[in-house]
């Protein structure tokens, strides 16, 4: 395992918010298929790629949801998880995803859930997105619910179009939906070179997080970047010796196509090694089964 203790301040005035792209899930599907090549988890990564294809179809088919900053109550950050329009929308997305996957060859049978079971699954997924441990081992149906919620909240994030002044992610939670980040990405390109953004595990909004402190506990001490010897230089675990937590960080200057959620699932060996060093994972991935990174 490699260790790189780094503190990189920046004087650049960055964009505080990056809205998820219209082709988010298509790009993620392509990334998952690339990562699946020769990987021990290839069947799982390829199945997730097919799920992302279905997510992209559902995202493209969604009508205007009619959400706006007027829906955000005073003193509240972002859209509530029980927002009435979104609560009516995601079960329809779930049904569309299930139908799409049912037509794929060798796809596992996905049971039809009752409305109460769907809501119970959604409650667990929202809890995971908020950073809480799942109550039990997630099922394929839970992953499908998570996918439907991602599509719906990503569409809402794109339509909400938060203004820079509405960005309040200082506590490490998404300014759009209050979910926890799946990981961090250090960007490249004009105006973003070397800037760190956190990516929401639910709606994929990215918000700027200065590299002068831990994103978990906000301690200002230098953090350590741990990686696997001989592994990808684009994937590191940002570890804090103050809170003993870590969040994966992905570097575009090492691999321009990194995707925080796809590359996270393809780098679970790093989670194991970092856990052996005494650090606890502090970022959720809604498609990570409990114990896979233990």
Domain ranges of the chain: 2-17+167-281, 25-166
pLDDT at position 250 is: 98
Fold observed for domain 2-17+167-281: FdhE-like fold (3.90.1670)
pLDDT at position 10 is: 44
Distance CA(25)–CA(54), nearest Å, equals: 8
Distance CA(121)–CA(148), nearest Å, equals: 11
Q: Which residue has the higher pLDDT, 71 or 262?
A: 262
Q: Is 123 left (phi over 0), alpha (psi -120 to 50) or beta?
A: alpha
Residue 40 CB partners (closer than 8 Å, separation 6+): none
pLDDT at position 73 is: 57
Average pLDDT, the chain: 87
- Tens of pLDDT, residue by residue over 226-247, are 999 888 999 999 999 999 999 9
pLDDT at position 9 is: 42
pLDDT at position 7 is: 37
List Cα–Cα distances, 88 to 68, 93, 134, in angstroms.
Answer: 16, 10, 24
Distance, CA of 159 to chain centre: 19
Q: What percent of the chain has pLDDT over 90?
A: 63
pLDDT band at 133; cut points 50, 70, 90: confident
Whole-model pTM: value is: 0.90
């Amino acid at each position: 395992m490699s260790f790189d203790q780094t503190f990189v301040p920046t004087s650049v005035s960055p964009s505080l918010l990056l809205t998820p792209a219209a082709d988010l899930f298509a790009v993620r599907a392509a990334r998952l298929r690339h990562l699946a090549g020769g990987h021990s988890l290839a069947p799982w990564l390829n199945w997730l790629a097919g799920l992302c294809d279905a997510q992209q179809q559902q995202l493209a088919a969604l009508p205007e949801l009619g959400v706006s900053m007027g829906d955000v109550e005073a003193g509240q950050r972002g859209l509530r998880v029980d927002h009435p329009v979104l609560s009516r929308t995601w079960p329809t997305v779930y049904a569309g995803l299930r139908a799409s996957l049912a037509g794929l060859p060798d796809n596992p049978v996905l049971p039809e859930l009752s409305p109460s079971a769907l809501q119970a699954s959604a409650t667990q997924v929202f809890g995971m997105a908020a950073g809480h441990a799942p109550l039990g081992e997630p099922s394929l149906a839970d992953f499908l619910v998570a996918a439907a919620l991602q599509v719906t909240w990503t569409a809402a994030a794109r339509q909400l179009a938060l203004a820079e002044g509405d960005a309040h992610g200082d506590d490490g939670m998404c300014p759009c939906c209050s979910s926890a980040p799946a990981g961090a990405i250090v960007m490249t390109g004009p105006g973003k070179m070397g800037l760190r953004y956190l990516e929401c595990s639910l709606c994929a909004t990215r918000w700027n997080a200065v590299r002068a402190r831990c994103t978990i506990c906000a301690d200002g001490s230098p953090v350590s970047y741990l990686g696997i010897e001989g592994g990808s230089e684009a994937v590191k675990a940002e570890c804090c010796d103050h809170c003993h937590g870590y969040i994966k960080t992905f570097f575009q200057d090492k691999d321009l196509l990194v995707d925080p959620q796809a590359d996270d699932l393809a780098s679970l060996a790093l989670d194991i090694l970092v856990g052996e060093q005494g650090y606890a994972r502090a970022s959720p991935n809604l498609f990570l089964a409990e114990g896979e990174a233990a």
